[in-house]
Each structure stands twice: as structure tokens, then as C-alpha cells.
Amino acid sequence: QVQLVESGGGLVQPGGSLRLSCAASGSAFNLFAMGWYRQAPGKQRELVAGISAGGTTNYADSVKGRFTISRDNAKNTVYLQMNSLKPEDTAVYYCNAERRRTDYWGQGTQVTVSS
């Protein structure tokens, strides 16, 4: 069993930056693929960025070059550095852990990009 707790969301102006963190409890964090998803009002949840157990990363086209996902296995934490934020990045951001086709989700953290 894995529990995920996100933090770092908030209100930021267009062009600003935020760093989201997701702390995981439980064992074998290093064996999980981790990801950040987001869901805007009236829209489906979408993958923003993922990082495999081996450190391979992938990004949605809409965030490439602006967002960076990373993980610190010693701290059981995954991060999402978000730069050059746009109003369309406004959403609830969810942390995901996946292993052996089992998914775990955090409660979400709100990111609002507005002037």
C-alpha cells in the first residue's frame, strides 16, 4: 500500500514558477513509476509528466520545455518543477504511483495561474 501527499500548489501569475512535491509512504518507492496528472474544470484528467523507476521521463506536448519531473528515492519524493506558467495550466494536479498495473493517487493540489 502506498499513500501519496502532494504539496506546493497555489496561486501564481502568468510566467511564474511553482514546484510541486509528492511524498510517498510505504516501501519500495524506487520500484514505482511516478507521474503527475492534472484535471481542469470540465475536462478529463490528463498526464502531465511521468518518470519510470529507472529515471526515464516523458511529458505532455503542452508542457515540454517548461516542466521538469524528477525523483529522489532517498526521500521517497517526486517533484514537478513548473516554469513559464500559463493560465491554461490551471488545474488540480495529482500525483500517481504505478507498479504491477496497480495505481495509487494523491488527494490533489490546486494550481491557479492568474493575474
pLDDT in tens, 28-80: 999 999 999 999 999 999 999 999 999 999 999 999 999 999 999 999 999 99
**Is the pLDDT score of 14 beyond 90?**
yes
pLDDT higher at 46 or 27: 46
Arithmetic mean of pLDDT, 9-17:
98
pLDDT digits (tens, 9 = 90+) for 87-101: 999 999 999 999 999
Residue 26's pLDDT band (boundaries 50, 70, 90)?
Answer: confident
Contacts with 5 (C-beta within 8 Å, 6 or more apart), sequence order: 22, 23, 25, 106, 107
Amino acid (one-letter) located at 113: V
Tell me the C-alpha distance between 93 and 9, whole Å: 8
pLDDT of residue 33: 97
